[in-house]
Amino acid sequence: MRKSIHDLLSLKGRTALVTGGAGYLGTEISYTLAELGANVIIASRDLGKCQGRCEEIARDFEGSVATLAIGLDLLDKQSIARCFEQVHQHFDHIDILINNAWSGNKNSWETINDRDWEYDIDMSLNSAFRFTKAAFPDLQKSKGVVLNVTSMYGHVAPDYRIYEGTNFSNSPSYGAAKAGVIQFTKYLASFLSPHGIRANALSPGAFPHPPTQQHETFMARLGSKNPLGRIGYPHELKGAVALLCSDAGSYITGQNLCVDGGWAVW
């Protein structure tokens, strides 16, 4: 039976959980899922921010999709367990898991210490493992989708000349952790395929936060590094999220989709 692109992109009746889903990039990810008809669960350490974003989605979509805000500390195994207990009080299972949350300190090679390195690896890489492991029974039930939000710096090195003389240092732990997530995604695509689960990575770059965008010299350096000659904006992730989370991407797994203005082609 022929399916239209609208049918393939529809997420109506499905439930998605987005860690960090109320943040700068996470907000557009959450809205994309809601626009396609999915129920959206937003989880992070800032419960108030999650609740605010859920209220916005519920209002904007006039209650046509269900939302749920959950306080979550990805470094706490008990918090992860409680998260899924709360999920199952409202939904039978999740169909889509998006590991998007991140936090970390700005560090250079000279300033980073063991504690910062270990925190970044734990937050970016280990948490993706723990949370996906906890979500596995749900994803197995739904033959679901995993989308890991990584970074262009998981597959290319930062150019030190961009960061020279600025306050926007790039931590060595950040790229190392994101590279690990990309490989972890490929592992999931292979070993979870017998359960009908797809897994892909999404590597944005560069998507600096609004305060950073106020620094014109740094923005000029950053934007000049790719063929499009500019930075990216959160809404420019929406097409990739829609493709990888819906049946429009049903034959795509184990891939790292780069939304980077062509950064890595030079």
Phi, psi dihedrals of residue 23, rounded to the nearest 5°: -85, -165
CATH 3.40.50.720 fits 5-265, yes or no: yes
pLDDT at position 1: 78
Strand partners, 240: none
Give tens-digit pLDDT for 80-123: 999 999 999 999 999 999 999 998 888 889 999 999 999 999 99
CB 39 within 8 A of CB 67: yes
Mean pLDDT of 139-160: 96
User: CA–CA separation, 66 vs 231, rounded Å?
Assistant: 33
Q: Is the pLDDT of residue 152 over 80?
A: yes
CB 181 within 8 A of CB 154: yes
pLDDT bracket for residue 166 (50, 70, 90): low
pTM of the model: 0.96
Q: Domain ranges in the chain? A: 5-265
Q: Is the pLDDT of residue 193 over 70?
A: yes
Mean pLDDT rounded to a whole number for the chain: 96
Give tens-digit pLDDT for 10-65: 999 999 999 999 999 999 999 999 999 999 999 999 999 999 999 999 999 998 99
